[in-house]
Chains A and B, each alone.
Chain A
């Protein structure tokens, strides 16, 4: 599915300084029953965000109007667990375009890249710097520059470089999609398939 191009994003951020945030927290399994990709943002972090009677939990960051923005900043090992792409869809549908952490689980990271959400992996120390900055000033602005592969805390001017696979980078910048690429390889794939033993 085609997605919005990603080049430079300047935004405030929502902090979630918890480690090992798993995909069951991002979107619990009971909300995976849809057959279309819509509405998942309503249930993003459902059980951290709402009480069992569906009233909002005041102490959860998404219910705190002080924090907002298109960047979600999470603790180490973000997105572990299930392969459900619904987790990335929920992040996107809620309005985030970038997730920052010091470490990502593989499948979640892949899923983000496949739908146009940029996972930015920073060092532990830069992550602490981001959390501190947002704690001091919830309106802290950050710039995520994909072409230059930098993330900058705008007020204090500190920045860090991040890695991304060059192929994926080009896809994100242009809104390209892997399936179009694969469909163009179809004849090569068919030749390959003929020689598979099973």
Chain B
């Protein structure tokens, strides 16, 4: 039978099929962080059971951590308590723990690939919806709730009905100034914020093949923003070169065995999908969002569209929150904050792109910019590649790693009513702080906004 990439990986992990019910799916690698795990560990305690395979779970602190002065005790007692709980739980169950200040600490979806925890053909879950990031390596990776975190800790399995399959094919070379983030925001704008709900997506076509692994991670990361549980890209030479030799990747004979398996991980010619979309990559423009969900995005040269009849009240509520009107142009809108970072765009390539624009320019005086690397490894690379100097000369400071203003659980909150151009993943009301107004964009669009103080087509600065 002809199988899709998704079928091959899913079917290889089904431990048990429940009649007219979900599949019992084996999980190869499980990542946990401080926010969605404590109640799961509490559940184990109440049941008086342990973790079945501690070596398959990896803990890191990221959501709730400060991005300055990480050497000091965490000031907020609630955050400190949650971080302490993760450390205690990890130690009690012999789970690897990369806490605050640890050299391998960083955002869970940045450090997973950095250390080879993320592998092709694996099933990877985490109590975080952006777990879809790891699909860039040809893994089935998706976010789960805390009850499911407890299931994985207790049994290394979860129960999931098999989702439907969607393929999104994008072919063609991207224009100069158009990044993987723009491709993802474009796709989401076409499908809407719920257009892929119930589906698992495979991204196919030359546009994705030509992307770096970092770029593919950005695309897969944003799968959830159109409702998909996850998205994946068939592994290729680029994937294997990226993972080889990393700490947790197979070595020696195990590598060869794994490579034999991985080379089978592609969709068979003629395999069926429940839904297919095709787009021309060469016509995608730099994108920016204007509303309060990631589907409300437009090409930078366009103006805010008129409401359609269905959903008009929700659309107007959204624009009202943003302080925008139908027909407004985005270019020239004054902005107050810039956020570079997150599991979407907090990798070295994103800092390279940002630096390219700000090099030799100066940050606009009225803009507050938070540049937050996704991990210590990214931070070190920024220093080693000389980017830190470029950033500092342009008036920027580099912070310490974490999720930061993406979800504003720590002190990095955009004030009410202020506009932030953010490289993160969600522009929901209050996402970056109560009353904050978020414009999602690529790292170079964020850089262009940071130096001009307004929404700017980054191509004019290239």
A24 engages B154 (CB within 8 Å): no
**How big is chain B's contact interface, by range?**
35 or more
Q: Provide the bound-state CA to CA distance between A114 and B151, in Å.
A: 11
Q: Provide the bound-state CA to CA distance between A71 and B161, in Å.
A: 26
From A32, A75, A107, A193, contact of B35 by CB (8 A) = A32
Q: Does B429 have its Cβ within 8 Å of any Cβ on chain A? A: yes
- Which B residues are in CB contact (< 8 Å) with A192? 15, 26
Main secondary structure of the interface of B (DSSP, over half): loop
Q: Does A13 have its Cβ within 8 Å of any Cβ on chain B? A: no
From A22, A165, A183, contact of B428 by CB (8 A) = A22
User: Beyond A28-B434, A182-B157, is A88–B145 a contact (Cβ under 8 Å)?
Assistant: yes
Q: Provide the bound-state CA to CA distance between A178 and B408, in Å.
A: 33
From B52, B78, B250, contact of A189 by CB (8 A) = B52
User: Beyond A20-B293, A189-B156, A197-B261, is A103–B311 a contact (Cβ under 8 Å)?
Assistant: no
- Which B residues are in CB contact (< 8 Å) with A188? 15-16
B293 engages A193 (CB within 8 Å): no
B149 to chain A, nearest CB (A): 8
- Which B residues are in CB contact (< 8 Å) with A165? 20-22, 161
Q: Provide the bound-state CA to CA distance between A13 and B431, in Å.
A: 28
- Which B residues are in CB contact (< 8 Å) with A129? none
Q: Provide the bound-state CA to CA distance between A107 and B230, in Å.
A: 11
A7 to chain B, nearest CB (A): 19
Report the count of interface residues on A (CB-CB < 8 A): 57
B24 engages A182 (CB within 8 Å): yes
Q: Provide the bound-state CA to CA distance between A198 and B119, in Å.
A: 9
User: Beyond A25-B429, A36-B38, is A186–B52 a contact (Cβ under 8 Å)?
Assistant: yes
Q: Provide the bound-state CA to CA distance between A149 and B157, in Å.
A: 29
B197 engages A105 (CB within 8 Å): yes
- Which A residues are in CB contact (< 8 Å) with B257? 197
Q: 6 closest A-B pairs (Cβ-Cβ)? A: A167-B21, A85-B145, A83-B143, A35-B38, A182-B155, A111-B145
Return 9 A-B CB contacts under 8 Å, by A number: A19-B311, A24-B429, A35-B38, A52-B434, A83-B143, A85-B146, A106-B197, A114-B145, A197-B250
